[in-house]
Amino acid sequence: MKILDLSAYYHYSAAAQVVDGEIRCAAQEERFSRVKQDPAFLSLLAAAKLSQQPRWLLLDDIHLLPMVECWRSISSPKLDLTSFGHWSGTGIVDISLGLQIVK
């Protein structure tokens, strides 16, 4: 199972990739920008900065996608983990059958 976790535009930005229970790469924006709690997200989009070795992952390959930013607009089956985190709407979305978003 492949999981991509993205968090951005709050008090920090971070990204992580987990494949079959193994953390492949993880990074926080402030490590690249040297700005404490940097909410920017541009540096993390560069795949070379997430990992020393190139690891390409197509969105079609991702089974779970936790994203705080679009949580409220997703109608796909989801597990609300708000009680475990401090953000409203934190959770995991099953997108193995496609992502359904309410507009």
Q: What is the pLDDT of residues 22-44, one digit of tens each?
A: 887 777 777 666 777 665 655 55
Q: Which residue has the higher pLDDT, 16 or 54?
A: 16
User: Which pLDDT does position 98 carry in this prediction?
Assistant: 62
Q: DSSP secondary-structure letter at 7? A: E
CA separation for the pair 3, 5 (Å, rounded):
6
Statement: residue 17 has pLDDT above 70? yes
Q: How far apart are CA 8 and CA 92, in angstroms?
A: 16
pLDDT tens digit sequence for 39-83 = 565 555 554 444 444 455 555 555 555 555 555 555 656 555 554
